[in-house]
Amino acid sequence: MKPFPVAAALRFCVLLAGFSLLTALFFWPVVAHPAAQLLGPPEDNYQDFWNSWYAARGHADGFFFTRLIFYPEGASLTYHFFAYPQIALVWGLSKIFGTALPTLIALQNLTILLSFPLAGVSGFYLCRHLTGSSIGALAGGFILAFNPAHVAQAMHHAHVAGIEFLPAFVLCYLIGLERKSWAWLAGAAGFYALSALSCWYYLFYGFYYLCFHLLYLRVHQHKWPRGWGLVAPASVTAATALLLSPLIIPMLAAGTHEAAYQPGGNIFVADMLAWTAFPPTHLLADWSVSLYRRFTGDAWEATVYLGLANMALLALGFVLAKDRRVLWYAMGGMIFFAVLASGDALHWAGATLPVHMPGIVLSQLPFFANVRTPARAVVFVYLFLGIGVAGAIAALKMQHEIWSRAAVTVLAFLMLLDFAPARIATAPLTCAPELAVLARDSGTFGVLDLPSGYVEINSYMAAQACHGRPIAQGIIARKLDASLIDHLEKKDTARQREQLQKAGVKYILLHKPKDGLYAWTGYDGSEAAWRQNYQAVMDGPAMSVLQVY
């Protein structure tokens, strides 16, 4: 029996502690008071919180269909972007610490932040395996864990932030391929599945990685892989598909529905200028504000900044390294996934150039077309960037000269400063006292929150953690069927009341403007008309509660 590897376990603990400390420093506004507010500005983070609350509350009649939103018809959650490992962890911890609102907020924040130290540690082991340099691997792990896209997505999309299993997937695959080990390939399939369960985009990106590696071997060996070289990727793909089949098969079945496909392949892309433009969380973000206003899509999706210090290190590595195989592998991977991140066509300062990319084909393929945010492929660009920087540092260390050590020290400090997030936003989430009206009513009924709006509806979903009642509105990744809210009468108040009564919507919550939200635009009709036609049973500072019947 082999002795327990104490040194390896100690190294893992030290690495985890170090990356955790760095996470705490970078996200101190949240870590210091984890139960006070949600990580990120008011947006999809409210919906991510709803996902965790939904998982924690229990489901007697099934997980993948709910009437808690889009009441009374409900909605299928087959395509919804659950970060399954994250919400499973929240569910487990809630069994210990409870489901009070402050507790759930803290669990939500901390489980999302956990992706940073875990990504750093797994990135370290991948980079050390490829470069043999522990110092370089620390830099590579840092790049993968704290890259600006990960910081941005952690504040907006919990599922996209779940990158921690991707380096472990690549590491297990490479070792399995080298050693012809089924055990390591099983590990690769497991981490691949966990990555896909975190964000189903990663199901596709993992497959693209396996394709890239085959292409790399073809170029490097001057012939296509055979035998084990083909068995390994095919086995990992098949095993992962088998593990995920309970989710993939229903998704494929629902994918025939027209509503399953939405535009985005030429919107949420990596602009060519964005690779070097300081992102919104950067210390020098003010210098790039005008550029980010011109980029298509959202700022957090457009964030693909590689870091000037990282690029300098990579360039220096190419100059000094005697063996550049790892560097070329890293550069090839960066280019491969940068092409995928570019979407249907190249973009320059927000303008679409007449240069079509492979993404234009992927956007037309059934099922593959659901990956409608190409810029998210940048996660693999950062993974390969970390490998490349680790290789460059290893090459610099081999120089054995004072200037090379000084260069590594200076550039490492600049790298740390370049990726340190300077603007961490948070969003409030409290239980309004007016919701006591819903708690006192023991009947079965639904609630209509107004006014409508993307962020507003997300906040209404999060507020369900306070009152637990079904709501007529909602936002999910793919809404496949119509519900009451899609045909609710806005002008004919008599018809409107009839619809609400028939649907069992008993209360209307008119939210009052606050922090730039809940402004009436006319989409929902006149606020005065709602107040005039329904009885007010409570009027407080946060909202007015109207009763339908």
Please report whether residue 105 resides in a domain.
Answer: no
> What's the mean pLDDT in 113-125?
98
Side chain identity at residue 375, one-letter code: A
Residues 295 and 361 reside in one and the same domain: yes
SS3 506: strand
Please report whether residue 184 resides in a domain.
Answer: yes
8 A C-beta contact, residue 10 and residue 111 = no
Upper half-sphere CA count for residue 317 (Cβ side, 13 Å): 30
Helices 6-26, 134-146: axis angle to 10 degrees equals 40
- Quote the pLDDT of residue 258: 64
Residues 33 and 173 reside in one and the same domain: no
Mean pLDDT, the chain, as a whole number? 93
Please report whether residue 166 resides in a domain.
Answer: yes
- Quote the pLDDT of residue 264: 79
Q: Is the alpha carbon torsion for 300, 192, 248, 63 positive or negative?
A: negative
Nearest partner of 70 among 259, 261, 268, judged by Cα: 259
Nearest partner of 548 among 517, 504, 491, judged by Cα: 504
- Quote the pLDDT of residue 226: 93
> What's the mean pLDDT in 328-350?
97
Residues 89 and 162 reside in one and the same domain: no
How many structural domains are present in the chain?
Answer: 2
Nearest partner of 125 among 163, 186, 167, judged by Cα: 167
Residues 394 and 527 reside in one and the same domain: no
Residues 412 and 283 reside in one and the same domain: yes
Residues 211 and 75 reside in one and the same domain: no
With a CB cutoff of 8 Å and minimum separation 6, the contacts of 420 are 26, 146, 283
Please report whether residue 442 resides in a domain.
Answer: yes
> What's the mean pLDDT in 8-19?
94
Place of tokens 């082999």: 2
Please report whether residue 155 resides in a domain.
Answer: yes
Residues 273 and 378 reside in one and the same domain: yes
Residue 447: pLDDT over 90: yes
Residue 403: pLDDT over 80: no
Residues 399 and 533 reside in one and the same domain: no
8 A C-beta contact, residue 270 and residue 341 = yes
- Quote the pLDDT of residue 505: 97
pLDDT digits (tens, 9 = 90+) for 29-87: 999 999 999 999 999 999 999 999 999 987 767 899 999 999 999 999 988 999 999 99
Residues 397 and 521 reside in one and the same domain: no
| The pTM of the whole model exceeds 0.75 | yes
pLDDT digits (tens, 9 = 90+) for 458-486: 999 999 999 999 999 999 988 888 999 99
**Structural domain containing residue 220:** 114-419
Q: β-strand 505-511 against 446-450: which pairing, if any?
A: parallel
Residue 391: pLDDT over 80: yes
Kindly state the DSSP code that residue 142 receives in the 8-state scheme: H
- Quote the pLDDT of residue 60: 65
Upper half-sphere CA count for residue 108 (Cβ side, 13 Å): 36
Please report whether residue 102 resides in a domain.
Answer: no
Of 359, 389, 419, the residue at which a domain comes to its end is 419
> What's the mean pLDDT in 376-381?
98
8 A C-beta contact, residue 419 and residue 148 = yes
Please report whether residue 286 resides in a domain.
Answer: yes
Please report whether residue 55 resides in a domain.
Answer: yes
- Quote the pLDDT of residue 476: 93
Q: Tell me the sheet residues that pair with 504.
A: none
